[in-house]
Amino acid sequence: MPTSGPMNIAQAADLVDLSVQKIFLKSSDPESQYTKYFKTRTTQDYYEKDSSLTGLGEADFVDENAVLMQDVPLQGYKQVYTQNMVGIIIPFTFQMWKFGIKKRDLTNVVDELRKSIMRVKERLCAERLDNGFATSYTHYGANSTRTISTVGGDGVAYFSSSHTREDGGTAMNNIVYTGTSYNPVLDYAGIKAAYLTASLFVDGRGNPRVGHLDTLVVKTGSTNALKAKEILKAIKDGKIPESFDHDGSGVNAFEIIELDYLQNGAYWYMFEKSKAMSEREGFQFVESQAPTVDPVNVVYKTKEIQTSATTLFDLGANDVARCWVASTSAGS
């Protein structure tokens, strides 16, 4: 939890104790994983708005001397990205800085500022998956709470059986569907159901726009992660997963992404990388300022030393209905 006031000698007396030979900085050093499933781009603007146009419907027969059918594209859904500041500050008393931090050559403690920002980035991105079956959720930060929207440009949850279509046609579904039930567990049958679900994707005018799933997302170390590796090994060996039959697998090999910050070990997701990692659709991470460590500030009255880091970004999704599928494993 955050603390008030600068770090003082009483809080870390070992730093000024000459009998303590070595001081180690121990903390989580997160791998940058969000870039594997969020399309990242930079901006110079406070607001960014993404929109689109649909294609046309199908052409039709024309009788002799008849008038050709007329059709025009339709405007797609709009998504707005508003830059948010994320930051953290480390204050030290002058004595702690002089006799503890600098004397121990621990000035690289400022690297912890970058790691702290990286942690919140990873958490915020993973939370979009954890809560993608609802339209919003509460993010419990270290110092505050915030309600965060989890809807795409079509105004419904990222993972839903009722994604509205631009032409008002039949709603689309991107929750894994077996043909009889939603949200199957992760097994060979479940992955085949994911392929079935993606095969029914259409564009804004109802034309087939099949999703070719090639990436699977699970929580690191979860039962799903282990199961995914077992299935993938069988597929690569030309075997049917979870079977003694000698026929080949009905699905292609896929990449596995294991996310440290995903909370729900039962949830699993698949996406088509060529679509999901483009600016046209999929999850978007829009950044106007990369994590930046600010110059050291001295409070003249107290000689307190302050060092901080900030970043500016927003994240969300233009359209995941046509490139992602997801399952809670609930079998509902």
| pLDDT the model gives residue 270 | 98
Torsion of CA 34, 40, 43, 45, to 10 degrees: -60
Q: Shortest CA distance to 125 belongs to which of 37, 237, 228?
A: 37
* Bridge partner list, 262: none
Q: Are 154 and 54 in contact (CB under 8 A)?
A: no
| pLDDT the model gives residue 16 | 46
Neighbours of 291 (CB within 10 A): 19
Structure tokens at 241: 């997963």
Rounded to whole angstroms, the maximal C-alpha distance in the chain is: 99
Classify strands 39-42 and 283-293 as parallel, antiparallel or unpaired. Answer: parallel
What is the sign of the dihedral through the CA atoms of 290, 291, 295 and 301?
positive
* Bridge partner list, 259: 219
Distance CA 125, CA 67 (A): 51
Distance CA 180, CA 178 (A): 5
Give this prediction's pTM: 0.84
- CATH top class, domain 31-49+76-327: alpha beta
The secondary element (H helix, E strand) that includes residue 303 is: none
Structure tokens at 149: 């929207």
Distance CA 58, CA 217 (A): 35
Q: What are phi and psi of 37, to 5 degrees?
A: -135, 0
Residue tagged 């088509």 (tokens): 272
Side chain identity, residue 55 = G
CA 13 and chain centroid, separation? 40
- Cβ-proximal residues to 122 (8 Å cutoff; 6+ apart), any chain: 30, 32, 33, 34, 259, 260, 261
Q: What are phi and psi of 166, to 5 degrees?
A: -60, -30
| pLDDT the model gives residue 246 | 65
| pLDDT the model gives residue 294 | 83
| pLDDT the model gives residue 183 | 97
The one-digit pLDDT tens for each residue of the chain (332 residues) are: 556 666 555 555 545 445 444 444 555 666 789 999 999 888 888 777 777 667 777 777 777 777 777 776 766 677 787 888 888 888 888 887 777 666 555 556 667 788 888 999 999 999 999 999 999 999 998 888 999 999 988 889 999 999 988 888 889 999 999 999 999 999 999 999 999 999 999 988 888 999 999 999 999 999 999 999 999 999 898 888 877 776 777 788 999 999 999 999 999 999 999 999 998 889 999 999 998 888 888 888 888 888 888 999 999 898 899 999 999 999 87
